[in-house]
Amino acid sequence: TGSGQAASASLSPIAFGAVTSGQSLSMSATLANTGVGPVAVTLPAVVEGSDAFVVEGSTCPTVLAAGISCTVTVKYTASGTAAANGMLKVATSAGELSAALSGQSQQALLSVSPTSIDFGDVQVGQSKTSADITVSNSGNVSVTGLALPSATGITVTSASSGTSCTAGGTVAAGG
């Protein structure tokens, strides 16, 4: 530029936060021309570091005037219970701009033990009083509203406290 100042631009990071596994969320990073002259923008933007992030589009022109901003939209697809981290990169005449991308996939991973119960021979009109069943959640998000199916002749009479729950209760993550 005629003033002798270098071209300058910035790119904002995106923190997607917690997203349910299998779901996607789109958010935009802001690319701002913070200088006094125009900045050339080379598209498409790229993502490095994780396949969980994909560039969906951009409102950026090929030349961004001084004081003007545009957006680059990135989609995060959560999977399993893993955290995802990546970098959004945009080439400009002010240099390559990078912005951190982060997201945390949330998923409950329930298991039941034992998977079957043998009460043996029980006479009509008689009952077998105990069988312990454990529901565990090794995921990273709690589960609420658990329902036990009704079965003829089976009654749930109590459940332990702590990380166990009654029907309709909560199984905490890691519990």
State pLDDT tens for residues 114-138: 888 887 887 887 777 667 777 778 8
What's the pLDDT score for residue 115? 85
- The residue among 108 and 36 whose pLDDT is bigger is 36
Strand 39-48 to 83-92 pairing = antiparallel
Q: Confidence class of residue 157 from pLDDT cuts 50, 70 and 90?
A: low
Whether the predicted pLDDT of 107 surpasses 80: yes
Task: Tell me what the pLDDT averaged over the chain comes to.
Answer: 83
In the DSSP assignment, the letter for residue 151 is B
Question: Which pTM does this prediction carry?
Answer: 0.74
Q: Report the pLDDT value the prediction gives residue 171, as an integer from 0 to 100.
A: 57
Residues 52-77 have pLDDT tens digits of 999 999 999 999 999 999 999 999 99
Check whether the bond before 114 is cis (ω within 30° of 0). Answer: yes
| Strand partners for 25 | 76
Pinpoint the alpha helices (H) of 7-109: none
Cis peptide before 44 (omega within 30 of 0): yes
Q: With cut-offs at 50, 70 and 90, classify the pLDDT of residue 162.
A: very low
Buried b (16+ CB within 10 A) or exposed e, 86-100: bebbbebbbeebebe
Number of residues assigned to the chain: 175
pLDDT of residue 1: 38
Range in 3-12, 56-65, 153-162 with the lowest mean pLDDT? 153-162
Model pLDDT for residues 18-52, shown as the tens digit of each residue: 999 999 999 999 999 999 999 999 999 999 999 99
Phi first, then psi: give them for residue 122, nearest 5 degrees. -125, 125
Kindly give, in sequence order, each residue whose CB lies less than 8 Å from that of residue 149, ignoring residues fewer than 6 positions away: none
